[in-house]
Chain A
Amino acid sequence: QQQVKQSPQSLIVQKGGISIINCAYENTAFDYFPWYQQFPGKGPALLIAIRPDVSEKKEGRFTISFNKSAKQFSLHIMDSQPGDSATYFCAASINAVLRQGAQKLVFGQGTRLTINP
């Protein structure tokens, strides 16, 4: 119930195309859904996040689409660029699942995205 399932494991997209990464969850208590971007040799960094009271959030070329009834959310990268090549992690959390007020982020398995020039 605490899992977040991410697909695909790897994705190759041509420059200018749309990259789509999907995640599904079971626990309806999750209330925060971030996406992290990780470049080789670096730690993950927050890219964009959404809460379940909205169905979509857009920041530049990056959009999260959220389907509460289906318990799914996805990341869309429009006009994909070679600089977007990275590993992307979806995650979900519930406030105070951990003790002492800490939010526990449950991460998906990751998607290695390659944008071909």
Chain B
Amino acid sequence: DAGITQSPRYKITETGRQVTLMCHQTWSHSYMFWYRQDLGHGLRLIYYSAAADITDKGEVPDGYVVSRSKTENFPLTLESATRSQTSVYFCASSESSSGGRIAANTGELFFGEGSRLTVL
């Protein structure tokens, strides 16, 4: 079934370790996003990508790295995990409103089911 999937769904790690959260979508959406969800803060944008090989920072990018070598995958890496990065991470995708490699996205986000990360 087409959709957006995240893995792992749950992860416990220790401070200083590297962690990679995976995101895969089957819709061929141009845009992909990573958000973190924390109580009292709603959803905050970490990184986004408009197309393969094009990524950019959101509002809380520090401590995170992304890549997008293929349209369908958008992994998020915590290079050296900290306790403040304990959160639920959501990947999302969005389609373009018109044709072309870089076109405005429609605004509707399709979210994965989230990855709950605990950093001890």
Contacts and interface: CB of A to CB of B under 8 A. Distances in A.
A46 B109 contact: yes
Interface string B18-57: 0000000000000100000000111111001011001010
Interface residues of A, number: 28
Interface in A76-105: 89, 93, 95-96, 98-105
B61 interface: no
Contact of A105 (B104, B107, B110, B112): B107
B62 interface: no
B113 A41 contact: yes
A17 B102 CA distance: 45
A104 B104 CA distance: 11
A101 B49 CA distance: 10
B107 A101 contact: no
B113 A98 contact: no
Contacts of A52: none
Contacts of A107: 42-44
Given A93-B107, A109-B41, A110-B42, A102 B31 contact: yes
B75 interface: no
Nearest to A89: B42
A43 B108 contact: no
18 contacts: A6-B42, A32-B107, A34-B107, A36-B109, A43-B112, A45-B110, A93-B107, A99-B50, A100-B50, A100-B54, A101-B50, A101-B96, A101-B105, A105-B107, A108-B42, A109-B40, A109-B41, A110-B42
